[in-house]
Amino acid sequence: MNLPIQLHVQHSGLEKGIPIVFLNSLGTDLNMWNQQVAQLSSSYRMIQMDTRGHGQSAASRGPYSIDLLCEDVIHTLDFLGVPKAYFCGISMGGMMALNLSILYPSRVEKVVAANTAAIIGHESAWLERANLVRMQGMGPVVAGAAGRWFTSQFTDDHVDQVNVMLAQLAQTPSEGYAACCEALSKADLREKVASISVPVCIVAGEFDPVTTVSDGQFLMEKISGSRLEVLPASHLSNVENPQQFSEILSRFF
């Protein structure tokens, strides 16, 4: 049973209408979407939320599961009186958005699933990382994050922006991060995504080493009527290509 916990939620944009709910990636917080919010606030109602164990949301003791993280989202919508939403998630958040479409299709209007996959990485690697941060804190993960998240060109040209994202990672509670690693270690939607019936737009990063264009193509082939957009970016494509990413949201939603 998912017991209530404190979740940090932020509202912006229009006061009425179907909202866009933004779901963050592993090791970031709701501020990763600030550029999309700034670009789209005149046209949409928007809800940003910190996933359990991230940002200012509570980090209850693990293990977590993708289903549990999705329950948090539905409980939040219930609390806010939102019957249905657009969802935009990236990486772990993208997998959550797809899973919401499987578990709660009546609550989902459309989905943008960015830089994600039906299964991300390998179970053993996620469990090793969970153990690492519980023993040593976030330092070892922060050290290699820029290379996973951004192209080298973006890292060189946008040092301040990259440092802001790395600060989000460094400030993520180690238990929350570790428990989400455990959730990802067990998450496998490969046999389930074909049941998705809501409109889905998949966004992939051309240079993403974590969730590849091939992962995006797999989703597109499995999800009837879905589309695939490829941006010239690495793993955090909404940060590296904010304008193009926001234009995709605007066209699709």
Domain membership of residue 171 (yes or no) is yes
Domain membership of residue 197 (yes or no) is yes
Domain membership of residue 239 (yes or no) is yes
pLDDT-derived band at 148, boundaries 50, 70, 90: very high
Q: Mean pLDDT across the stretch 191-220?
A: 98
For the stretch 31-74, pLDDT in tens is: 999 999 999 999 999 999 999 999 999 988 778 999 999 999 99
Q: Residue 199 is part of which domain span?
A: 9-252
Domain count, the chain: 1
**Beta partners for residue 229, in sequence order:** 203
- Structure token pair of residue 144: 């290699």
Domain membership of residue 4 (yes or no) is no
What's the rounded Cα separation, in Å, for the pair 176 and 140?
16
What's the order of all strands across the beta sheet hosting 85-90? 9-13, 45-49, 20-23, 85-90, 108-114, 200-205, 227-231
Domain membership of residue 66 (yes or no) is yes
Q: How many CB atoms lie within 10 A of CB 235?
A: 24
- The pairing of beta strand 108-114 with beta strand 85-90: parallel
CB–CB of 220/201 below 8 Å? no
**Beta partners for residue 85, in sequence order:** 108
Q: What CATH number does the domain containing 164 carry?
A: 3.40.50.1820
Domain membership of residue 228 (yes or no) is yes
For the stretch 230-241, pLDDT in tens is: 999 999 999 999
- Structure token pair of residue 21: 């709910």
Whether the pTM exceeds 0.85: the reply is yes
H-run or E-run covering 96: helix 92-103
What's the rounded Cα separation, in Å, for the pair 77 and 57?
15
Domain membership of residue 3 (yes or no) is no
